[in-house]
Copies of this chain bind each other. A is one copy, B any other.
Amino acid sequence: MWVSQSVAELQGSLRSCWKSSTSIGLVPTMGALHEGHRSLVRRARNDNDVTICSIFVNPTQFGPNEDFTRYPRALERDLALLEAESVAGVFVPTPVDMYPSGFDTRIDVGELGRIIEGARRPGHFSGVATVVTKLFNLTRPSRAYFGQKDAQQLAVIRQITRDLNIPVEVIGCPTVREPDGLALSSRNMYLSPSERLAATVLFRALNAGRDAYRQGERTNAQVRDAVTVVVQSERLAVLDYAEVVDPDSFSSDDPCTDRSIIVIAARVGTTRLIDNLTVSAEYEHQGPRTLHRQQRTGTLPSQL
A195 within 8 A of B: no
Contact indicator B110/A165 (Cβ below 8 Å)? no
Q: Give the chain B neighbours of A69 by CB distance below 8 A.
A: none
Chain A residues 99-117 with CB under 8 Å of chain B are: 102-112
A192 within 8 A of B: no
Q: What CA separation (Å) do A15 and B47 show in the bound complex?
A: 21
A134 within 8 A of B: yes
A137 within 8 A of B: yes
Contact indicator B19/A165 (Cβ below 8 Å)? no
Q: Give the chain B neighbours of A112 by CB distance below 8 A.
A: 104
Task: With both chains docked as a complex, state the minimum distance between the C-beta of A39 and any C-beta of chain B, in angstroms.
Answer: 28
Q: Give the chain B neighbours of A7 by CB distance below 8 A.
A: 165
Contact indicator B160/A105 (Cβ below 8 Å)? yes
Task: With both chains docked as a complex, state the minimum distance between the C-beta of A105 and any C-beta of chain B, in angstroms.
Answer: 4
Contact among B104, B165, B166 for A163, CB-based, below 8 A? B104
User: Copies of this chain, how many?
Assistant: 2
Classify chain A's interface size: 20 to 34
Q: Give the chain B neighbours of A249 by CB distance below 8 A.
A: 102
Task: With both chains docked as a complex, state the minimum distance between the C-beta of A26 and any C-beta of chain B, in angstroms.
Answer: 14
| With A19-B21, A21-B19: A164-B104 Cβ-Cβ less than 8 Å | no
Contact indicator A105/B163 (Cβ below 8 Å)? yes
Q: What CA separation (Å) do A104 and B19 show in the bound complex?
A: 34
Q: Nearest residue in B to A248 (C-beta to C-beta)?
A: B102
Q: What CA separation (Å) do A108 and B105 show in the bound complex?
A: 6
Sampled A-B contacts (9; CB under 8 Å): A19-B21, A104-B110, A105-B160, A105-B164, A106-B107, A106-B110, A133-B164, A134-B164, A134-B165
